[in-house]
Amino acid sequence: MTDLIHLTADALAQKLASKEVSAVEATQAYLDRIGAVDGAINAFLHVNTDEALLVAAEVDKARTDGDTLHPLAGVPIAVKDLIVTKGQPTTAGSKILEGWQSPYDATVVRKLRAAKMPILGKTNLDEFAMGSSTEHSAYGPTRNPWDLDRIPGGSGGGSAAAVAAFEAPLALGTDTGGSIRQPGAVTGTVGVKPTYGGVSRYGAIAMASSLDQIGPVSRTVLDSALLHEVIGGHDPHDSTSLTDPVGALVEAARMGQVDGMRIGVIKELQGEGYQAGVLTRFHESLELLRSAGAEIVEVSCPNFRYALGAYYLIMPSEASSNLAKYDGVRFGLRVVPDGAPTIERVMGATRAAGFGHEVKRRIILGTYALSAGYYDAYYGSAQKVRTLIQRDFAAAFEQADVLISPTAPTTAFKLGEKLDDPLAMYLNDVATIPANMAGVPGLSLPGGLADEDGLPVGIQLLAPARQDARLYRVGAVLESMLEETWGGPLLAQAPAIPGIAGGK
């Protein structure tokens, strides 16, 4: 059974199609794994045992009956608990939504159901996706499978850790400033932020609506492409959804060549602040791509240095507005103070009790940036910086087909290390934020282990808007070359999870 959970989603799909393995067997193997390791990892906030097995049984019956099935039918998946699901709780990692159940499914969840992919459960995250370590979850932190004393990244630490610990072959994440890619980097997994609007956001609980994007989390580049094709495409329920077709992403991942492609190294996303072991692995990846026939060029994006500051104005501004709906009136927590309080006092008490400190800080910061007298200086200026970042990308993509950088400046840090220093925490996203500001797609894949600490390093690829296929093309080639040097997938080098019978 342990062999089943180590298969890629693509390999599992093939074994399901050839009836070598049943969907119930595969789903049960993952549920068993969750039972064995999630006490240590805490990747799941809810495990959806009955429904997952029911869907798996339907797949097996349909297959026996000879029905036509989606290629991923029966391949289980975990869903970040920021994405609403009927029949399961959705908490957004917050006490304010404890016990709440959505009356509707997110569009991406509908698509998973249409493909008959059993949903294993809901994964942990920083409260309302605000954080880079999953330590801001109201339900306790998720732990990094590579070292349980370290963070799994955030906000989607639960989805990344679940996939890295073989608790799921695939997961969904959301990425506002790096919440899919940075957890991918620090857990040795793959994560993709699609082009803004390429995947419907309907049913993703909004943090910053002009930055948020749902995307795939997996163990291989091809697996992300397979999942991206399931969830992508136009959705009339999302007014920011692009009308473009999703594109031939799987085909791009299977293309297997980068000969003649121009790959731009972003000058501003390396050097000071980047861990030595991260840069060593990054330069090795550049050499591999060069040896595969790609042309490596250097590009400069001078305004990226303002991206973090502009992000920490735009994101809290939009979040403060989006989170106004948690007021104890229509859903979620209601706290009624003593006496005969007015609704205003109920709101104040409800939001004080229901939100954690990081969420409150961002709401206050956003309220400040949007205040009369400050709006132009803060929010208005940040939106102009956004234009400058887009221009930097446009100029860089004149010189290169794809851009490349480390995904995060460091490997996974220790739990608690940056909890009292918000600025240090925010710096984790310095390389991932520009993509969200400009709406361009980005992919993180494992680049090896840093020499100084033996922890995973992430390599980030960025492509022009609507050119997500290029990420899969380059990513898959780099992945296969790296795996050749490692003698197998990077996750095969992960240590056994302590306290687990039979190890990994």
Partner 1 sequence: MAEINRDDVAHLARLAHIDMNDDELDRMAEELAVIVDAIKTVSEVAGDDVPATSHPIPLSNVFRDDVVGETLSNEEALLGAPDNADGRFKVPAILDGE
CB count within 10 Å of CB 71 equals: 17
Among residues 334 and 504, whose Cβ is nearest to partner 1?
Answer: 334
Query: Please, what is the Cα angle at 480 between 478 and 482, to 5 degrees?
Result: 65
CA 165 – CA 85 distance, rounded (Å): 23
DSSP state of 232: B
Q: Which of 344, 398, 488, 501 binds partner 1 (CB under 8 A)?
A: 344
Print burial letters for 103-127: b (CB count within 10 Å at least 16), e (below 16): eebbbbbbbbbebbbbbbbbbbbbb
From the list 102, 132, 179, 405, the catalytic residue is 179
Site string for partner 1, 291-310 (x = CB under 8 A): ------------x--x-xxx
300 carries an active-site annotation: no
Considering CB under 8 A, how many residues would be counted as binding partner 1? 73
Assigned token pair, 176: 């506002």
Among 12, 437, 457, 476, binds partner 1 (CB under 8 A): 437
d(CA 30, CA 189): 17
Q: Are 237 and 197 in contact (CB under 8 A)?
A: no
User: Quick one: which segment of 28-36, 56-64, 282-290, 386-394 binds partner 1 (CB under 8 A)?
Assistant: 386-394
Helix (H) / strand (E) containing 228: helix 221-231
CA atoms within 13 A on the CB side of 160: 41
Rule CB under 8 A: say whether 252 interacts with partner 1: no
Interface pick for partner 1 out of 361, 480, 493, 500 (rule CB under 8 A): 361
Is there a catalytic annotation at residue 155? Answer: yes
Nearer CB in complex with partner 1: 61/391 = 391
3 lies in the site for partner 1, by CB under 8 A: no
- Burial letters 353-377, b for 16+ CB under 10 A, else e: ebbbebbeebbebbbebbeeeeeee
Which of 39, 140, 273, 380 forms a contact with partner 1 (CB under 8 A)?
380
Residue from 384, 484, 499, 503 touching partner 1 (CB under 8 A): that is 384
Q: Which residue, 255, 265, 259, is CA-closest to 292? A: 259
Considering only residues 181 through 200, tell me which ones interact with partner 1, judged by CB under 8 A.
Answer: 195-197
Q: Which stretch binds partner 1 (CB under 8 A): 35-43, 346-354, 472-480, 489-497?
A: 346-354
The CA–CA distances, whole Å, from 353 to 30, 186, 320, 341 equal: 36, 32, 17, 16
Alpha-carbon distance of 49 to 52, in angstroms, equals 5
Q: Does 320 bind partner 1 (CB under 8 A)?
A: yes
Under the criterion CB under 8 A, does residue 280 sit at the interface with partner 1?
no
480 catalytic? Reply is no
Q: Which of 208, 201, 171 is nearest to 187 (CA)?
A: 171
Of 137, 155, 159, 285, the catalytic one is 155
Q: Is 352 in the site for partner 1 (CB under 8 A)?
A: yes
Looking at 3, 259, 291, 330, which residue binds partner 1 (CB under 8 A)?
330
Structure tokens at 141: 């932190």
- 332 interacts with partner 1 by CB under 8 A: yes
Window of 32-40, 167-175, 319-327, 446-454 that interacts with partner 1 by CB under 8 A: 319-327
Q: What mask, x for binding partner 1 by CB under 8 A, covers residues 87 to 106?
A: -------------xx-xx--
Q: Which residues are catalytic?
A: 80, 155, 179
